Structure 1
Amino acid sequence: MIPFTDEELEPAVMNVIEKVRPSIQMDGGDIKLIAIKDGKVYVQLQGACVGCSSSGTTLKFGVEKQMKTLIHPEMIVVNVPFGYEDKLEQLT
């Protein structure tokens, strides 16, 4: 269990997103924080990342790995497809 509230996690999560964003933008994509709920970080990959076969790898081995290393080893990052921003409970 992550020993932080969702509100306490937000600055650290945003810091990691800002660190990985330039790499994602170099390939024509972007990343946006949608929400943090129960320690899960919901992000949306945008631009060239949408439909890219490497987007899952970017999410797990780029973004999530950085969050596990810099914030807490139990961090989970979930990609939010367009249209699901208000349906996070449907994403697992």
Structure 2
Amino acid sequence: MFIQTEATPNPATLKFLPGRIVMGNGTLDLREGAEAVRSPLAQRLFGVPGVTGVFLGSDFITVTKADGEWAHLKPAILGAIMEHFMSGAPVLAEGADAATNEEGEFFEPADAQTVETIKDLLETRIRPAVAGDGGDITFRGYRDGTVYLAMKGSCSGCPSSTATLKHGIQNLLRHFLPEVQEVEAV
């Protein structure tokens, strides 16, 4: 098994590509070891000293570190990923579900058409680019011209995430939907 790694815009996060499907659908963003009971793979990764976050995407895993050098952490993380996939254990624990895009959404029924367009733009133009950087972004709500989005994986806590939201995503949404005035992270 050959696992590729890629840097992300977040210096505290590294993207691992195991060359196979990680999550069939949805994503899983775990920010502390106690949440890892949802995934045997995440449990192995949180067992590596210095790991503070695990994000499971469609065909990648991003790992966030507290401190230390990637040169020291990377071999242990690669070993944990390889051991997991070689063991044949499931990525998700029995009964655990991946996150869906519908969790906690809020918007006025009158804005349903605008929200559909926002979701379509997120799905077709924004999420693929964000996944390329080892993260995910999901719609959370729309109210009074403001779009609320959740940043996950390497995007969560990334120094450039504010610029991504304000200059990239906000400008794109405004171009297609003039009623969008602002984009905020939740």
Q: Give the alignment's TM-score, normalised by structure 1.
A: 0.75
Distance in 1 between the 2:180 and 2:113 partners?
15
User: What residue in structure 1 maps to residue 142 of structure 2?
Assistant: 36
Runs ≥4 residues deviating over 4 A: none
User: What residue in structure 2 maps to residue 23 of structure 1?
Assistant: 129
Distance in 2 between the 1:73 and 1:62 partners?
17
Runs (5+) with no aligned partner, structure 1: 81-92
Q: Using the TM superposition, give the Cα deviation of residue 73 of structure 1 relative to its aligned residue in structure 2, in angstroms.
A: 6.0
The reply on whether 1:9 has 2:114 as its aligned counterpart is: yes
User: What residue in structure 2 maps to residue 63 of structure 1?
Assistant: 169
Distance in 2 between the 1:49 and 1:15 partners?
20
Distance in 1 between the 2:147 and 2:180 partners?
11
Asked which structure has the greater RCO (Cα within 8 Å, sep 6+), the reply is 1
Distance in 1 between the 2:176 and 2:127 partners?
15
Distance in 1 between the 2:146 and 2:178 partners?
11
Q: Using the TM superposition, give the Cα deviation of residue 16 of structure 1 relative to its aligned residue in structure 2, in angstroms.
A: 1.6
CA contact (8 A) 2:134 2:154 kept: yes
**Per residue, is there more helix in 1 or in 2?**
1
Q: Give the alignment's TM-score, normalised by structure 2.
A: 0.39
Q: Using the TM superposition, give the Cα deviation of residue 71 of structure 1 relative to its aligned residue in structure 2, in angstroms.
A: 1.1
- Structure with bigger gyration radius: 2
Identity value in percent = 33
Distance in 2 between the 1:23 and 1:35 partners?
21
Supply the RMSD in Å over aligned alpha carbons: 1.3
Distance in 1 between the 2:132 and 2:161 partners?
14
Q: How many residues align?
A: 76
Runs (5+) with no aligned partner, structure 2: 1-109
Q: Using the TM superposition, give the Cα deviation of residue 52 of structure 1 relative to its aligned residue in structure 2, in angstroms.
A: 0.6
- The partner residue of 2:159 within 53, 64, 70 is 53
Distance in 2 between the 1:73 and 1:9 partners?
9
CA contact (8 A) 1:20 1:62 kept: no
The one-letter code of the counterpart of 1:63 is I
